[in-house]
A and B are shown apart, each in its own frame.
Chain A
Amino acid sequence: MLLFLEQILNGLQFGVMLFLLAAGLTLVFGIMGLINLAHGSLYMIGAFVCASILSLTGSFALGVLGGLAGAALVGLAIEGTILRRLYARGHLDQVLATFGLILFFNEAVRIGWGPRPLFIDVPAALTGTVELVPGAPYPVYRLAIIAAGLAVAAFLWWLVQRTRLGMLIRAGAADREMLAALGVDSRRLYAGVFALGALLAGLAGALAGPLLAVQVGMGENILILTFVVIVIGGIGSIRGAVAGALLVGLVDTLGRAYLPTVLRLVADPATADGVGRALASMLIYLLMAAVLVWRPTGLFPAHGQ
């Protein structure tokens, strides 16, 4: 039971990371109609910048800030030079151009930081474990990530629902042309939204540093999971991104932890382990297929799609 609680928390923590990436991706698609494969590159840049600043200054907080800034600046640069020209294009052109960006950034990072993965220690203030319920120690750092993710979700909710900028974002998601016709400076709005998404991707990358190896290509694996999240949640919807991220995080984590055990009830151990592992790695894709067959536009379809 205590182990189960731990797995639930692990699933939540993974879901929160996915949410940080999915929020930006889903906003950019909802408002600009852009499918950005290079979103994972911004995550990678956030992680690498954070690792470098940490090793220079010894401060994880500065590293995270640097990761945020680095991802946001690179995001602004590619938005202003390349992606802006793709908003009115078809999905195929967007996929191809941003695929080109992935190749470029992966190689640039490999040249800049070398091919070997970097490892970051958990910051001293957040090491150790805490007992949420007696007898179930849980790492403080992972709890901190969950808290940070929930804070970001609350901030985004406030931003989108309660501010003037959020009103423009919602209006843009509903009808871009009308928004532009009403005299809103869409260039600045788009750049701002893109930078916000890049910032969140950078945050996810920086926070992931102490949990995973910081390496070239780290962005792509999680990017595909992020796609699964926003497709399940409904493209363009923040609420959908929250729901999809938590669902995917929990299903993936619990599937990997318990599927082999569950299958042992009906099959011999060797088969159960083999099939269980295979099935666990395919589980979220099956979930996505099931959701799309049931609801072809996701759980919380955004308006105007």
Chain B
Amino acid sequence: MASSGPARPFVSLRRATPLAGLALLLAVPPFAHAIGDAYLVNILTRGVILALAAVSLDLILGYGGLVSFGHAAFVGAGAYTVGILAFHARAGSTVFDGLHGTQAALAAWPAAIVVAALLALVIGALSLRTRGLYFIMITLAFGQMVYFLFTSLERYGGDDGLILWQRSAWPLGDPADGTQFYYVCVALLLVFVVFLRRTVDARFGRVLRGAAENERRMRALGFPVYRYRLAAFVIAGAGAGLAGALLANQDTFVSPELLGWRQSGELMVMVILGGVGTLYGPVLGALGLVLLEEVLSGWTQHWMIILGPVLIVVVLFARRGLAGWLLPGSGRGDD
């Protein structure tokens, strides 16, 4: 929880650091252009999209105290929604009677958000009946269930996945242009982070945090804790669905790997690397992890043998994550 002592000398810093981060993100394409490295924009687009997914996970994990190990399912559901709609638009067929495919971003992306949110509603409604370790495992199991569902959809490529032949079309500009797509992703991330910031600072977020600290107390105060948690779970699922829609566009490819438990694990890694319950932290964590993977895989194909111990060291010794260093006063102050 954010410490709220009488004097908060770092308030200005806490505001300034995210703004500086945003400025840095906006400056990436001109910089990449200047040094002639277009690939950098590609990597960071991926980082920004995964940041969106990680931030959405932070709402339930950091503020709700609910360790969800199946978040990739919602990313995958969003990605497959875009993929399947594009598949039918190309084939000129219908998903089912009356529902035609589409390539339009303004139709497909909201559809991805809605599908992921509905999936989160179902999974959350069942999972939130359990606590602690049971919750971790049931979300993991639901994630695997959705994974196996998509591997068995032969029509949409099964194990091999589904190729999107082009990015979703939006009204202004050229979707094939990597720089434009990057700015769209950054804008969506910004909107989502600001939305979540307001959500967690509002009464909703306080109830959520209160329930994470002491569920019985919040119940005694008369709050329907289950419903608050379910609402948070659905919001998080919707955010992950949007991230999935963007990821499908970035890769122009969707496959069941997007939904695997390893992907869910990586999202959790991003949140904890950046700092749990900070919202800005997971953005740093996602960008950091994507860049770290890029650098390490440049050194050796066995880069995971380095990443694994790095994770362990971070968990054991740097518990407040990157945000703990860059944003003093944020994160899990109770550690």
Are A281 and B61 interface neighbours, CB within 8 A? no
List A contacts of B133 (CB < 8 A).
29, 35, 91, 235
With A96-B269, A224-B261 as given contacts, are A274 and B154 in contact (CB-CB < 8 Å)? yes
List A contacts of B202 (CB < 8 A).
none
Residues of chain A from 211 to 255 with CB closer than 8 A to chain B in the complex: 220, 224, 227-228, 230-231, 235
- Bitwise, B74-101 to A at CB < 8 A (1) or not (0) is 0000000000000000000000000000
A97 CB–B CB distance under 8 Å:
yes
B interface, over-half SS = helix
Are A231 and B134 interface neighbours, CB within 8 A? yes
Q: Tally the A-B contacts, defined by beta carbons under 8 Å.
A: 127
With A96-B268, A101-B308, A286-B145 as given contacts, are A91 and B136 in contact (CB-CB < 8 Å)? yes
Residues of chain A from 75 to 100 with CB closer than 8 A to chain B in the complex: 82, 85-86, 89, 91-93, 95-97, 99-100
With A91-B133, A108-B305 as given contacts, are A282 and B149 in contact (CB-CB < 8 Å)? yes
List B contacts of A230 (CB < 8 A).
137
Task: Name the distance in Å between B211's Cβ and chain A's nearest Cβ.
Answer: 16
Chain A, interface size: which category? 35 or more
With A227-B141, A288-B141 as given contacts, are A92 and B308 in contact (CB-CB < 8 Å)? no
Task: Name the distance in Å between A268's Cβ and chain B's nearest Cβ.
Answer: 15
List A contacts of B310 (CB < 8 A).
100
- Bitwise, A277-305 to B at CB < 8 A (1) or not (0) is 11001100110110011001110000000
Partner of B304, one of A29, A82, A106: A106
With A91-B67, A92-B67 as given contacts, are A292 and B134 in contact (CB-CB < 8 Å)? yes
Are A85 and B305 interface neighbours, CB within 8 A? no
Partner of A100, one of B141, B151, B309, B319: B309
B69 CB–A CB distance under 8 Å:
yes
Chain B, interface size: which category? 35 or more
With A92-B272, A110-B302, A293-B129 as given contacts, are A97 and B152 in contact (CB-CB < 8 Å)? no
Partner of A99, one of B132, B142, B154, B265: B265
A6 CB–B CB distance under 8 Å:
no
- Bitwise, B10-31 to A at CB < 8 A (1) or not (0) is 0000000000000000000000
Ordered nearest first, which 5 A-B pairs have the shortest CB separation? A100-B311, A104-B308, A278-B152, A103-B308, A107-B305
Contacts from B to A (Cβ < 8 Å)? 61, 67, 69, 126, 129-134, 136-138, 140-142, 144-145, 148-149, 151-154, 261-262, 265, 268-269, 272, 276, 302, 304-305, 307-312, 314-316, 319
Contacts from A to B (Cβ < 8 Å)? 29, 35, 82, 85-86, 89, 91-93, 95-97, 99-108, 110-111, 220, 224, 227-228, 230-231, 235, 274, 277-278, 281-282, 285-286, 288-289, 292-293, 296-298
